[in-house]
Structures are given as structure tokens and as C-alpha cells.
Homo-oligomer: A and B are copies of this chain.
């Protein structure tokens, strides 16, 4: 099989959708495809460092930062979250069944050379700064995503 490109826009910051995104992305990379994940809006929450990072922010940006979950451990699920209980249940059952966690999937994505891009416009809207996101990311806008998607075989919006 020849090498193809795949792109995923990760718009959602839900744990279940984040897991789905990374399973598709790492699966595609493992097949030999070149994969780009473009994280935008709530999807940026997946990339936040789990500890607080001290940066200068406007009041509104501070409010967003408070309200938005910080990294993989803090995400809720898209259905039946029940204030976090659903997410806990899902993580518990995935652990028990030896299914890779989101944190491990992110590490796998890096090892498989998946290009993880943070959408700079969304970072601007939500007041998120580079220091607050995990290492190993690229930073770009929608034009960069579109150039890749135009050449890719698989393009998904999640």
C-alpha cells in the first residue's frame, strides 16, 4: 500500500471523542500514512498541561482558563457525563480492560511522528498561550490545515 495522508480536525474536547481521534490517528500512522491532527476550539483542552502555568492574561481569558478542563485527565465525556462520573466510569472500565489511555495515546502519536497542530486563531479566542500547552506541537492556522487536507485521502472533523 502506498503512503497516503490523513488529517483530523479535533474540534471536540470530550474524552470519548478525543480517544476516538487518537485511535484513528495512531491507527492510520501505524499503517504508514502521514497523519496531521489539527486541534481547534475545545480540542485545545486535550493539549493543555495538567498543572497551572503562570502567564499574563486578561480577565476574560482568565475566566476561560478556569472553566476549561486542563488536559486528558480532566475531560468529560459527550454523553452521560453526570458531572464527571461517566468519564470516571469510562476510564475505570478502559483501564480494567487494558485499553490504552488517552495520555498513552498522545505519547504514541508523538512516537509515530503524527503532526499535532494547535490552531492559533482558537488559541487567541480562548486566550490560551503556547506555554500552557504540551511540548512537541506545531502552531498554525486554517490555511495550513487546508493545504494538507487538499492532498489527503482521509479527512475527518471530530
**Contact: B125 with A99, CB < 8 Å?**
yes
Chain B residues, CB < 8 A from A64: 89, 93
Annotate A48-62 by CB proximity to B: 1 below 8 A, 0 otherwise: 000000000000110
Q: Does A137 contact B (CB under 8 A)?
A: no
- Total number of A residues with any Cβ neighbor in B under 8 Å: 53
**Contact: A31 with B156, CB < 8 Å?**
no
Number of identical protomers: 3
Q: Does A149 contact B (CB under 8 A)?
A: yes
Tell me the smallest distance from the CB of A59 to a CB of chain B, in Å.
10
Chain A interface, >50% SS class: helix
> Could you show 28 A-B contacts with beta carbons less than 8 Å apart?
A4-B150, A9-B24, A11-B16, A11-B17, A20-B41, A24-B145, A24-B146, A27-B142, A27-B146, A28-B146, A30-B143, A31-B143, A31-B150, A33-B146, A60-B89, A60-B92, A60-B93, A61-B93, A64-B89, A90-B125, A93-B125, A97-B124, A99-B121, A146-B154, A155-B155, A156-B156, A156-B157, A157-B157
